[in-house]
Amino acid sequence: MVVLGIESSAHTFGVGVVDNGRVLSNEKEMYKIGTTGMIPAKAAEFHVKNAPEVIARAMERANVGPKDITGVGYTRGPGIGPCLQVGELSAKSVADELGVKIVPVHHGVCHIEIVRALSGLKNPIVLYVSGGNSQILKRMEKPKPHYHILGETFDIGVGNMLDSFAREIKLDPAWGSSVEKTALGGDFIDLPYTVKGMDFSFTGLQTRATELAKEGKSNRDLCYSMQEVAYAMLCEATERALLLTKSTELCVAGGVAQSTKLKNMLVEVAKEHGAKFGYAGNEYNADNGAMIAFVAEMMLKKGVHSRIEDCDIEQKYRTDQMVLP
């Protein structure tokens, strides 16, 4: 079964082709954020301009023609409305034009599922960390199969915190990796550490670090300490979830999973409790179309798809709202 997947929830317009769980291509174009952050209308405009070319390129790289395709998946949410709409419309045109099935999917679930499958885990505790999301999840079968949210951020996602702080101290984008580079060799400064059971909060940490930056504390020490504190909070909450559910598997997914530092810390958590640790290459942690195609194919194999006229977007689509294949 050859399935096309379209991702456009934020600054990436990505298209991937999957055949029986095998990724044949994973192409993308990224809207340049510059120093301003993302302007939704401009990002959407960028996606509109690039959509036809990226779709064609993904099919060409995968060496598939229009007749080979069985279905098309797209990100229903969560994400930025105008950006999501471009992916939705692209998928609808492909489905209509080729007369193939269409499958709306949840962006986060796709990040998780491709990591889980590629690392050969069955039912792991998942730390899903990106710009807008920071959640700890585990698949549960009742009432319907879904990723149950065991814990999550009370306010902003860890990625957004790192990005906002990096902009504040005028680091270059991509901010996550800029913070990681700036942090090298830093000394530890006390910053607010907020964990409540399996939930956590990042705004206090962001505010305090910003204050200290204005007071003249070094960027290096602040970046170092912010990363140490934020990732330690995530590790503590994840560790608690691991013990509470008596799980023997752990994995990390989402944009912030690109951080080597975070992965190394999670390896320690897994090691301490004898759990298997899974992660995927960064092409799947960054936003991409292949993960969308991957989950859409899983759905199609279970006979699940939507009618074109029922397809929509949902900016605040929560991870636990998607029924899993």
Question: What is the x/- site pattern for other proteins, positions 201-240, by CB under 8 A?
Answer: ---------------------------xx-xx--xx--xx
Closer residue to other proteins, CB minimum distance, 228 or 297: 228
Indicate which single residue of 39, 140, 174, 304 sits in contact with other proteins (rule: CB under 8 A).
140
CB of 150 to other proteins, least distance (A): 8
CB of 36 to other proteins, least distance (A): 26
Pairing relationship of beta strands 12-19 and 69-77 according to DSSP bridges: unpaired
Closer residue to other proteins, CB minimum distance, 57 or 148: 148
Q: Which H or E element spans position 260?
A: helix 260-272
Closer residue to other proteins, CB minimum distance, 148 or 276: 148
Do residues 4 and 19 lie in contact, with contact meaning Cβ atoms separated by under 8 Å? Answer: no
Indicate which single residue of 99, 120, 143, 216 sits in contact with other proteins (rule: CB under 8 A).
143
Q: Does 41 bind other proteins (CB under 8 A)?
A: no
Locate 60 and state its tokens. 């060409």
Task: For the chain, list the strands marked E by DSSP.
Answer: 2-7, 12-19, 22-30, 69-77, 101-106, 125-129, 134-140, 146-152, 195-196, 199-200, 249-253, 276-278
d(CA 215, CA 315): 37
Closer residue to other proteins, CB minimum distance, 172 or 268: 268
Closer residue to other proteins, CB minimum distance, 48 or 195: 195
Question: What Cα–Cα distance (Å) separates residue 117 from each residue in 109, 294, 308, 319?
Answer: 12, 10, 28, 18
Q: What is the largest CA-CA distance in the chain?
A: 62
Sign of the CA dihedral 225, 227, 232, 237?
positive
d(CA 233, CA 205): 11
Q: Does 242 bind other proteins (CB under 8 A)?
A: yes
CB of 75 to other proteins, least distance (A): 20
Locate 56 and state its tokens. 């064609």
Q: Residue count at the site for other proteins (CB under 8 A)?
A: 36
Do residues 273 and 303 lie in contact, with contact meaning Cβ atoms separated by under 8 Å? Answer: no
Q: Which amino acid is at 163?
A: D
Indicate which single residue of 42, 92, 148, 276 sits in contact with other proteins (rule: CB under 8 A).
148
Per CB under 8 A, which region of 65-73, 203-211, 263-271, 284-292 contacts other proteins?
263-271
Closer residue to other proteins, CB minimum distance, 113 or 152: 152
Query: Where do contacts with other proteins occur on this chain (CB under 8 A)?
Result: 140, 142-143, 148-150, 152-155, 188, 190, 193, 195-197, 228-229, 231-232, 235-236, 239-240, 242-244, 265-266, 268-269, 271-272, 316, 318, 320
